[in-house]
Amino acid sequence: MIILITGITSGFGKAMAERLSADGHTVYGTHRKATEFIPGVTYIKADACNEEDCRAAVAQVVDAEGRIDVFINNAGMGIGGPLEFSSLEDAQRQMDVNWMGMVRFLHHVVPVMRRQGSGKIICFSSIGGLMGLPYQGLYSASKFAIEGYCEALRLELRHTGVTVTVIEPGDFSTHFTAQRKSVDNPEANAAYPSYARSLASIEHDEMSGLKPEFLAGKISKIVKMKNPGYSYIIASFLQKLSVFAKVILPKRWFAALLAVYYKL
């Protein structure tokens, strides 16, 4: 299969590119500043925030291969902190990378797949796209947007042979934790005393989480499926249980559980 993955320099993207290439697929991946290159994978320099870069990346794959069988939208970033102290620039940046980055690529990928009458679109959301996480509100908002967009896109493409799958990872040990931009000023910590301990708990859970290779193995299986599911939660048992709890518990009860879990 011809596969295009966004953001393959580290974490999920790198692990998926390695695994899918090893599976025998032809893998293309976008990057902004790669320093290490996976043998057999074609790297395309592209910024998800630049519409022309996205268009050119898709065109390069189509020109070389004549088709795109699987598109995996993985590129993303995180901004943490109390929403009150998160700047409007940070809010715009968060949505521009995580949501609009996906939209820009799909604007060019969808017509290709629709014309060829087949294709798999796999977009990365998060557990945080299913529940608003404290001190990760901007990140959750961007992932909620992905959920809504993909839900609508799936319905629109239901008679075209193109499938849309959303991946909802829990905590994983990747470079994402170190690369997260977090609000860091005395006023924010004074106004929200729980912020520091909650952020420390979040980072501990991430660093001790599952390995990206585990997720890559799951993606390998999804890519091979004739009719993949609408969504897959790839997380620990406790995190999967939290999603179920949100569905069955009264909202106030579930909020109380999150408050305890995040040490609010």
Q: Region 24-49: what's the mean pLDDT?
A: 94
Amino acid 207: pLDDT: 72
Is 230's pLDDT higher than 80? yes
Supply the pLDDT for residue 178.
61
What average pLDDT is seen over the chain? 93
pLDDT of residue 204: 73
Nearest to 143 by CA among 128, 133, 156: 128
Helix (H, G, I), strand (E, B) or coil at 66: coil
CA dihedral over 196, 201, 202, 204, signed as positive or negative: positive
Under 8 Å between Cβ of 67 and 4: no
Q: Topology of domain 2-261, per CATH?
A: Rossmann fold (3.40.50)
Query: Active site residue: 28, 135, 139, 195, which one?
Result: 139
Catalytic (active site) residue 261 = no
Residue where the block lists tokens 């992932």: 143
Structure tokens at 114: 């629709």
Higher per-residue confidence, 195 vs 110:
110
Would you state the pLDDT for residue 176?
Answer: 67
The string of pLDDT tens digits covering residues 168-179 is 998 887 766 667
Question: Would you kindly state where each structural domain of the chain is located, as residue ranges?
Answer: 2-261
Count the neighbouring beta carbons within 10 Å of the beta carbon of residue 225: 11
* 46 has pLDDT over 90: yes
**Is the pLDDT assigned to residue 205 strictly greater than 80?**
no
pLDDT value at residue 93: 96
For residue 198, what pLDDT is reported?
A: 84
Q: Tokens for 92, please give them.
A: 């715009």
Q: What is the pLDDT of residue 186?
A: 87
- Section 49-67 average pLDDT: 97
